[in-house]
Structures are given as C-alpha cells and as structure tokens.
Amino acid sequence: NRVKELKTLRNVLGSDKAQLILLYGRRRVGKTSLILKLLSNVEKAIYLYTPEASTMEQLLETYSSQLVDAGLDEVSSYRDFLNLLSWLGEYEWVVAIDEFQRLYEVYKPSISLLQDAWDRNLSRSKIKLILAGSTVGLIERIGLRASAPLFGRVTCMLKVKPMSYIDARGFYAGNEHVKFICYSYFGGTPAYASRYNCNLTLRENIERLVSSIGAPLLEEPMRVLSEETRRAGPYCEIMSQLSRHRGLPLSKIKVRRGSPTEYLATLMRMDLIEKIAPPTERDLVRPRRAIYRISDMFFNFWFRYIYPNLWKIELGKSISKEILDDQQRYLSHTAEKILSETLPEIGAQLGTYGIYSWGPWWHKEIEIDFVGIGENNVLLAELKWSKLSIHDVNELAAKAEYFREVENWHGPLNQVLIGLSYSKSLKHYALNKGVKLYTVDELKPLIDKISM
C-alpha cells in the first residue's frame, strides 16, 4: 500500500542521470519491503543488506557474499566497493544499500569517501544509488544539514512513515468499526500490524503479541528508543505522560532533568509524537494553543497500558482484562487521530470539498474531535463508540453554535456524527438539527472508493 512512495521512487529511477536517493525512517516502518518491491521489476538491480558488524572486514565479507550471489565480484576493501559502484554506474544499475548507517558506525570515513567518489565520477554516471537507514538522527546528519557530507548531492530524500489508517486498514479484517478498534491498538507500522492475527480476538492478540512473557512486541518501543537515543529514560517519561491525555501543552510536560524541548524534537523526528493546534489558528507555525500528542497508535497503547505494568507481566500476571475494561475511554482518545487520518480524504463525499486545514478543535472546556476547513464549508465531526442518542446530536449542535461564536464564523457548517448505530427516528431528528448521522461501517464504501 505504499503507492505514493513507489510512484515517487519509480519516477526518480526513470531519470537518465545519476540519482542519489536517501530513504530513511525509524525501524519497522517497512523500508526494506518498499525497496524490494521497487527493485522487483528492475532488471539490473542489487539489494545489499548491511549487518551489524564490529569491523569493516566483517561487513565487506557480507557484502561480498551478496555480490557473488548476484553474479558480481567480491570486494576486499571499501575502495574496491566504491570502484564497483563506479563500474555499475556505467551500466545503469540500481544499487540499494539497506541499514546504511551501520557502515558509518563501523567506518566513519565511509561517508566522506562516498562523497568524494560521487563528486569525481558517480554523479556523471547513470547509477541509481539508494541509501536506506533506520537511525533517523544519524541519517539526517549525513544528508540534511548544510555541513553534512552528502548535503546538496542527494537528489531524492524520502522519509518513510507509519501508514495512516486508510493505508493500514488492509492488515485488519472485519467490519470497519472492528478495523478502527484494531488500528487504535496496533496502528499502522507494518511490522506490528502485520503480526495481528485476524482469526483471534483482540484480547488474544494483545496477550500473544504484547502482554505476556516473551511476546515479540513486549519490549519493542524500548528497543526503538534505545537505538535512536543515548538514554531512553527521559523519552519514556514524556511518552508515558502523553499516553494518558489527548494532548499536553509544553508547560505541562515534565522531565526530571532540564527542559523537555530537546526530547520532544527527537520524538517528533521519529514520528512518535506530533505538535498540533486547532486548524482555525491564524499562525500554524507558532500557534498560541499548541499541544503535543502521540502520533503512533501502537506506542500510545504500549505506554498507556504496557509500560506501567511491565512488572506485572514479568511476574506472569495477565493485564488484558484491565486493558479492555478501559476500552471506551481509550477509544475516545484515539478518535481524534483516526478522524484526522480519514475525513480529509473522504470529506468531499460527506459534503465538504478541498479540506486544507484539519484536526481536533478546542477552546476552554469545549472539544470537537475533528474540524476540517474546506473550500465550501467547515466540517465538524465527532465519533462515539456507542449507539448514537438524542444527547449526542444535541451536544454536537451546541458545540457547533459555540464554534460559530468563538471563531466568528458566519459561513455554512457541515455537522457529522459517527457512531456504532442509530435509530431511524434519530436520523430524522438529527437532520432537523442540521446533523448528518453515519455508522462507522457506513464509512466503508466511502473509504473504499478513495483506496482504489
């Protein structure tokens, strides 16, 4: 489902000039699968996996094995490897080096030597060189900063992020509301979502994958943070705080030492959290009402329920009942994120065209799950994990009036209320109030239409 990414990369590979492509993103987001899919229809292409190694000799030995399997020569030094790249460039090969940051970790001059080789001859060949890495901070230091060795030489830089709900829903089976729920726990990171067994219940999947001794994802967030940062502790503190709220302003986020600003920047760079503001803010670059929230559903779930209960799991105690007993409250927190990933794509089918600014909206004590500013009106939407009631309809209509007053909005509003079910009489009542009703499952054909 990486349609956009594949299209971008295929366009780059279609060039008749040398291309240096930097593909990066935190571990498990699916970079390797994306590369292999990209290369599957390329005749002259080679994929090189960079192992964890303590010496350059060990690393080159692994490279050589892969090169021989592809019918190419072994390499005995890094200089030999660069010469091979030059030769491959003459014949328009595509070369993908995965986990490239490990090469730099073993041999620091490797990037500068690659820069020199690129400037001297590779840039004048027709090679398509893909460098893929999982340590986001290191990859950005290599290619993004003005002082970086590859700065100005990279022709395409693509950050691979976790999939949104619309792209990830294919990992889950069942009705749309079931997919919404599964996504709220396991999210859109392919390595996590693909482990979900649709033949088991949500509870069974949680126990099998996360909340039992030896579960494959039990310590995954800690591993991700430890790989990217020197000390995972402060990051865990922040993630734990954010997991218990819909979002927190900077002033409410605490760490034991220093300011949280640097830690928040790292977490945002890893696509684990995001900084958001009401879409009606005039200055979205420096918004007055900004908050931080966890953007990855699996990490949100893990830090909310698993992290504080690791000691119970280590003692062999089950926490799945505790998790699912809190499901209504948890899903009310995740609703904003799912709507933000879904409604801008299907807004036109709901009656709001060209949504260009969206997200949750709040003012004082009043919160609206989703506000989308479109070309013809403003879409206000809320998601309830229950059968819709008159109270729900009246509440949204009242919030709409409050929104008008606060934002001094005199244009049309498109009010949408989504729930698990509703009665025919309520639908008639809601229409008289200017509110459209949908069940989550009634969104399926709308999402299917834009997923084709």
DSSP annotation string for 214-265: T-TTTTHHHHHHHHH-S--HHHHHHHHHHHTSS-B-GGG---SSS-SHHHHH
> Model confidence over 316-335: pLDDT tens digits?
999 999 999 999 999 999 99
3-class SS at 354? coil
3-159 folds as: Rossmann fold (3.40.50)
The structure tokens listed for 183 are: 């996504």
The structure tokens listed for 72 are: 């190419």
Give the mean pLDDT of 118-129. 96
- Domain boundaries in the chain? 3-159, 165-325, 334-451
Task: Give backbone dihedrals phi and psi of 202, rounded to 5 degrees, phi first.
Answer: -60, -45
Asked whether the predicted pLDDT for residue 285 surpasses 80, the reply is no
Confidence at 452, pLDDT banded by 50, 70, 90 = low
> Model confidence over 146-185: pLDDT tens digits?
778 888 899 999 999 999 999 999 999 999 999 999 999 9
> Model confidence over 388-409: pLDDT tens digits?
999 999 999 999 999 999 999 9
Answer for the pair 123, 18: CB distance below 8 angstroms, yes or no: yes
334-451 folds as: Trna Endonuclease; Chain: A, domain 1 (3.40.1350)
The structure tokens listed for 235 are: 């990051």
3-class SS at 23? strand
Confidence at 355, pLDDT banded by 50, 70, 90 = very high
Asked whether the predicted pLDDT for residue 284 surpasses 80, the reply is no
> What does the DSSP assignment read for 63-90?
HHHHHHHTT----SSHHHHHHHHHHHHH
**What architecture (CATH level 2) is domain 165-325?**
Orthogonal Bundle (1.10)
The structure tokens listed for 223 are: 């591993």
Q: What is the pLDDT of residue 154?
A: 92
> Model confidence over 243-273: pLDDT tens digits?
999 999 999 999 998 889 999 999 999 999 9
Rounded to whole angstroms, how far apart are CA atoms 301 and 182?
A: 11
Determine which helix (DSSP H) or strand (DSSP E) holds 275, and give its type and residue range.
strand 273-276
Residue 436 exposed, middle or buried by CB count within 10 Å (0-12, 13-18, 19+): middle
3-class SS at 132? strand
Averaged confidence pLDDT in the chain = 95
Asked whether the predicted pLDDT for residue 134 surpasses 90, the reply is no
Nearest residue to 20 via CA among 135, 161, 127: 127
Beta strands in 313-398 (DSSP E): 357-363, 366-373, 378-383
Q: Within 10 A of 452 (CB to CB), how many other CB atoms are there?
A: 4
pTM of the model: 0.93
